[in-house]
Amino acid sequence: MGVIPRQQRAQELQRELGEVEVRQQELEQRGASVEKAIRGERPGGDGGGGEDTDPSDDAVLMRQWFGLVHERSMLVRRDQLLQLQLRELQLEDKHDRLQMELRERMAAPDGSSLSTRRALKSDVYVERERELVSTLLEISEQRRALDRPWTGPSRNRLRMECESAENRQ
């Protein structure tokens, strides 16, 4: 993925994360309202604990409550997936930039051999190349670590759950 498409994807992920946050706040408000109604703190009611309420109303409220809990759970999963994708993009971008810098440093000037190039490099220059290689290895390990808990079926299942939740909205 090129730099521009990567930036666009990062912006898209940020936008989606913002939407998830807004949706979670809405669910929190609706959940608080339903919870008060379950406790009998209905607007205009006597606040007497719900002894005079219709049992079918309580069943409806409980279904609403569990629906909100389920929806919030799906949003939390979606948030986790988006955060993971954003972190992967960041690591990919950093890896590409460092790799490019290393290639530029390793490129031999026209007509010079590898041994001539090594002789011309300062200790600082060589140390920077070592740092770059070390950092590239660390980034590769971080990328693998990100993928480990989300490999195969668990990652696909999470994506499918998130997509189905989005389609139901």
Q: Which pTM does this prediction carry?
A: 0.69
pLDDT band (50, 70, 90) for residue 160:
low
In whole angstroms, give the CA distance from residue 34 to residue 26.
12
Q: What is d(CA 93, CA 96) in angstroms, rounded to the nearest whole number?
A: 5
- DSSP code per residue over 95-124: HHHHHHHHHHHHPPPTT--HHHHHHHS-HH
Q: What is the pLDDT of residue 44?
A: 44
Residue 86 structure tokens: 């954003």
The three-state secondary structure class of 4 is helix
The total of other beta-carbon atoms located within 10 Å of residue 158's CB is 17
Q: Which is more confident, 74 or 166?
A: 74
58 or 96: whose pLDDT is higher? 96
d(CA 1, CA 163): 23
In the chain, which ranges are E strands? none
* pLDDT value, residue 122: 76
